[in-house]
Chain A
């Protein structure tokens, strides 16, 4: 099984990947797909991407910026930054505990 897939053979949660991508600055859809492909080796489909974008926007975690020739960039909101920070801290805590037990670090 490829290393970027979880135990059920699925890629990481698209919402988390999108928030992580937008933590590096505002991006439109295609730029997000390319960025996520680069950082997580997961290529999100357009439907998956926009399904997650709509949910994140509805929850107030991201917000749209004025469109540029039909391509609309998005950026993290303050709440989105806070939620992403909490999620990543939780993942880091689990990862560090697991790596310690494996005596990798």
Chain B
């Protein structure tokens, strides 16, 4: 195995800074399973670390804004689902004429109405998606590492989509998820 293949496991910001010298060190080391595991574990740690390499304060601020936007978008998507499931659960625990099942029933009924469904399944995801696209677009123009990662992602995705087995597997997964969602919806609503 060529050392460069292992170096590719690291995030692009890390590679930009350390690729040459790290590649040179790997070429000097004797190859073993222990060495490969060590590098793979270190690459995973570098990917999980938000700031594995020293970055200027201005870019750190941008990253923090993106973190905030991502947290807001996740809340926008997850909170309605949590409220829906919680109200459905409480509503099933006791007769609806008693509290808190009555309040849960009111919330659940509102959620399954067409307007709330439009809000939860339509507006909230679209808002979250728009927010995500906006922050990534702003970041793309100023961050060459993110552009490099995006190119790599597109490149790998295109290669995968050329394989019929991968496409068939993805379609089967989507179909299975659709059936699961339909089954859950059917079980909750009625």
B-contacting residues of A (Cβ < 8 Å)?
Answer: 28-30, 33, 45-51, 53-55, 57-58, 60, 67, 69-72
How many residue pairs between the two chains, A and B, have CB atoms under 8 Å in the bound complex? 67
Q: Whole-angstrom distance between the alpha carbons of A53 and B17 in the complex?
A: 12
What is the CA–CA distance of A57 and B42 in the complex, to the nearest angstrom?
16
Query: B38 touches which one: A28, A48, A58, A71 (CB < 8 A)?
Result: A48
Binds A, one of B22-30, B96-104, B144-152, B158-166: B22-30
Query: Which residue of chain B has the shortest Cβ distance to A73 in the bound complex?
Result: B21
Q: Which secondary structure characterizes the binding site on chain B?
A: helix
A72 touches B42 (CB 8 A): no
Given A45-B34, A57-B54, A29:B21 Cβ within 8 A = yes
The answer, yes or no, to whether B175 is at the interface (CB within 8 Å) is no
B41 within 8 Å of A by Cβ?
A: yes
- Whether A54 lies near B23 (C-beta < 8 A) is no
- On whether A48 and B21 interact (CB within 8 A), knowing A54-B53, A58-B53, the answer reads no
Q: Chain B residues near A54 (CB, 8 Å)?
A: 14, 17-18, 46, 52-53
